[in-house]
Structure 1
Amino acid sequence: MTPLNSNSLKNLMDRIEDARQGEIRSLIPHSPTTIEIRFSVQDIARGYDWIDVVFRIEGVNDAKLVSDTILRSWDMSEGITVELTPNSAALALGSYAGRANEAPVYILGTSIGYEELPFSG
């Protein structure tokens, strides 16, 4: 897992266009304080080839999750919001800049990392 900082986050989100029109592959709570969410997205840097990106949020202190059945049919037209501050990290489904905790699905924690994986089609 590669930790994200402000610069690497901006670069990644630009490359995957905030996961707009992507697909949610899985949401896995590894522990009460660690949650992973996997998306299939198009990567601009690879000529719009599809890849999977896994985000791992550590130090989870608040989350609003839904069942896998709902996630698999989630409309990703708004993409995702991922935000970092020196003491927190947030990931939300949809466009919720500055208000991730208002999203229908969100994960708030202390840090976030990511991993690029082959497309799981």
Structure 2
Amino acid sequence: MKPLTKSALKDFLERFEYFKDGEFRNIEINSPTNITFSFAVQDSSRGYDWVNLKLEFDNIIEATLLENSDLSYVDMSNGVDIKNGGTEFAFKINNSTCQIKSSHIKYEEGRF
């Protein structure tokens, strides 16, 4: 997994079109302070081909999660928002209550 830095955040979100119209596929709770989200999103650097994208949140400060059985109902038409306030990342799915705050985010691209 590659670390997502504050300076690369804007380019990352633009590359994956803010996850708009993507699919929220899975939440994996690795430990009380480490959670992985899986998405299917379009990658503008690959001609807008669909890819699997995993986001791993580490040193979680706060989280409001959904059940995996409810993920297919999440409206991803307005995408996601990721902000960095200096010491923490705040991830939120627009149109959803799902959000998470952590000190580190890593990502991994995979085949669709």
Task: Work out the CA distance in 1 between the residues paired with 2:90 and 2:37.
Answer: 12
Quote the offset at 1:117 in angstroms: 0.9
TM-score (norm 1): 0.87
Residue 72 of structure 1 is matched in structure 2 by 72
Match for residue 104 of structure 1 among 91, 97, 101:
97
Residue 14 of structure 2 is matched in structure 1 by 14
Identity %: 33
Task: Work out the CA distance in 1 between the residues paired with 2:99 and 2:6.
Answer: 19
State the Cα deviation string for residues 94-116 of structure 1 (Å, max 9, x = none): 17xxxxxxx61111111111111
Q: Report the secondary structure of 2:76's partner residue.
A: coil
Moved beyond 4 Å, runs of 4+: none
Give 5+ residue unaligned stretches, structure 1: 96-102
Quote the offset at 1:6 in angstroms: 2.3
AA matched with 1:37: F
What is the aligned-residue RMSD (CA, Å)?
Answer: 1.3
Give 5+ residue unaligned stretches, structure 2: none
Q: Report the secondary structure of 2:50's partner residue.
A: strand
Quote the offset at 1:14 in angstroms: 0.4
Residue 106 of structure 2 is matched in structure 1 by 113
1:26-45 mapped onto 2 (5 Å cutoff): 26-45=26-45
State the Cα deviation string for residues 43-63 of structure 1 (Å, max 9, x = none): 111111000111111000110
